[in-house]
Amino acid sequence: MKPKRPLVEALIKFQKQEPISFHVPGHKNGELSMLPQGMRSALAYDFTELTGLDDFHYPQEAIKEAEELLSEVYGTDQSFFLVNGSTVGNLAMVYAVCEEGDVVIVQRNSHKSIFHALELTKVKPVYIMPEWDERSKSAIGIALEDIRTAVAQYPAAKAVILTYPNYYGMAAADMEEVISFCHSQGIPVLVDEAHGAHFQIGSPYPFSALTAGADVVVHSAHKTLPAMTMGSFLHGKGNLVDRKKIKKYLRMLQSSSPSYLIMASLDDARAFVQSYAPEDIRNFEEKRTQFLDSLAAIPRLEVFQSDDPLKVMLRIPGYSGFQLQKCLENVKIYAELTDLYQVMLILPLLKKTQTYPFAEIRSRIKEAVHSALTETPETVSVKMPIKQGKISVPELSFEEIETTDGEWILYTEALGRISAAMVVPYPPGIPLILPGEKWNVAKLEQLMDYLATGAQIQGEHRLAEKLICVVPRQ
């Protein structure tokens, strides 16, 4: 039996009435739109909060039922649809727990939205450097011993904010122990689990932070489930975080004109997880294994399999990830992430009845690898983060940064200077440096490596002119 999709069903029922629009949005059920027909057809369901379609911020009908089903599937005390992406979930959970001046322990390789939340709430962050994983060539989770040390140094901490899994699908081994320890100290754990919405399916996927006991978890349903972009979930468990405050901040931070198309896709994504059966798992594992084995047979191509079976890294030893990315895009294959060393693919979470053109994809990847090998290698050595100073605080607070005028200098002259801005290689959206932190040799070398390989860098910078913004010397 197919799982219920109460919001999807409400939209279909409403649309079948052939309603006449004298309300927003102005495209009038798509009648006035000049979009191509393939896009325009979806606008027939792009309604606003009308009789029979419930109220997003004060749900009592279809949206309420859909969110209750979401909570049931994920085993939470309460769950919410998000129409402004995981960013708004990260903002809301930090606002719900923290007040100005509070000390907050934060995983240093968090997404930029977490750091924006810290800045907006004007807290005092304590950063913990994550462990380095040589296999995936990425920073993963925080070690339990580092959390213990940080809490001992900052016992008044109001929250611990973690990212799990990392962008590459690597799951931190200490997650359960970290959450258990924090709870023993009365500290809530907030988890940005953007890339783990599908973990609820169970083995062979890693366990969710919800299973490990996290207090608030945010999922980007659109990353690995079949939801529309910007569609996310927020889940709450336990009594350490006031869910009334979460509701309050979600109402303040989310749009007062929510997209029913996004919400319907979230209802559908929840139903997808709920109905993902053992035969779907077996079928996907078989197709995945065949595909990855076929890729591993391509000469010179290395295939690294993440903890998350949906994440796969492709490497050509001696060549940068950006070289391989360019060649893949020449054959119309677009990857999720590229870094100095590799390209990361997110595989489709197929059900038994669904297909994907893996044979054709393999042929194109082989062509891309062959093309890459005709180029001069852009060899990049793997630089592990420095081991000292795993626990750190910014040299200056957010407030002190705000009250100073930034100074633009050549990045080659930035050693020892305090950054006045965030510099963010994207993806994955993890800041290389944050406002208030000092530029050191390791960070400058990483910046030069990113620039040399043509990586996209977000933030407040003028790197086209080789300039970055720092705090003026006193």
**Of 279, 255, 125, which is closest to residue 190 (Cα–Cα)?**
125
Instruction: Scan for tokens 């559908």, then name that residue.
Output: 268
Residue-wise pLDDT for 2-52, tens only, equals 899 999 999 999 999 999 999 999 999 999 999 999 999 999 999 999 999
Per-residue model confidence (pLDDT) at position 139: 85
pLDDT in tens, 205-259: 999 999 999 999 999 999 999 999 999 999 999 999 999 999 999 999 999 999 9
Q: How far apart are CA 82 and CA 307, in angstroms?
A: 27
Non-local (6+) Cβ contacts of 445 within 8 A are 383
The pairing of beta strand 189-192 with beta strand 159-163: parallel
Q: Which domains does the chain have, with CATH numbers?
A: 6-274 (3.40.640.10), 278-372 (3.90.1150.150), 394-470 (3.90.105.10)
* pLDDT score of 8: 98
- 42: DSSP letter: G
Of 450 and 169, the structure prediction assigns the larger pLDDT to 169
Three-class SS of residue 424?
A: strand
Q: Give me the residue label for tokens 């139903």.
A: 271
> Quick one: pLDDT at residue 184?
98
β-strand partners of 418:
438
pLDDT at 381: 61
How far apart CA 348 and CA 138 sit, in angstroms, is 22
Whether the predicted pLDDT of 126 surpasses 90: yes
Taking only the tens place, the pLDDT of each residue in 389-399 is 689 999 999 88
pTM, entire model: 0.94
pLDDT value at position 172? 87
pLDDT at 384 (0 to 100):
55
CA distance 124 to 104: 6
Confidence of residue 383 (pLDDT cuts 50, 70, 90): low
- Confidence check: pLDDT of 387 > 70: no
Tell me the backbone φ, ψ of residue 344, rounded to 5 degrees: -110, 130
pLDDT at 386 over 70: no
- Measured in residues, the chain has a length of 474
pLDDT computed for residue 410 by the predictor: 96
C-beta of residue 171 within 8 angstroms of C-beta of residue 307: yes
- The span from the CA of 450 to the CA of 243, in Å, is 41
Percent over 90 (pLDDT), the chain: 84
DSSP label at residue 144: H
CA distance 334 to 381: 25
Tell me the residue type at 388.
Q
Contact criterion met (CB below 8 Å) for 116 and 91: yes
Beta bridge partners of 138: 133
Closest by CA position to 26, among listed 47, 7, 41, 10: 47
- 79: part of which helix (H) or strand (E)? strand 78-82
Q: In what order do the strands lie in the sheet with 467-470?
A: 407-410, 467-470, 461-462
Q: Which position has the higher pLDDT, 427 or 412?
A: 412
Q: Quick one: what percent of the chain has pLDDT higher than 70?
A: 97
- Cβ-based neighbour number of residue 426 at 10 Å: 14
Rama region for 222: left / alpha / beta (φ>0; ψ in -120 to 50; rest): alpha
Provide the H-helix boundaries in 130-190. Answer: 144-153, 175-184
pLDDT score at 379? 66
pLDDT in tens, 63-113: 999 999 999 999 999 999 999 999 999 999 999 999 999 999 999 989 999
Band of pLDDT at residue 303, cut at 50, 70 and 90: very high
pLDDT of residue 470: 95
Checking if the pLDDT of 329 tops 80, the result is yes
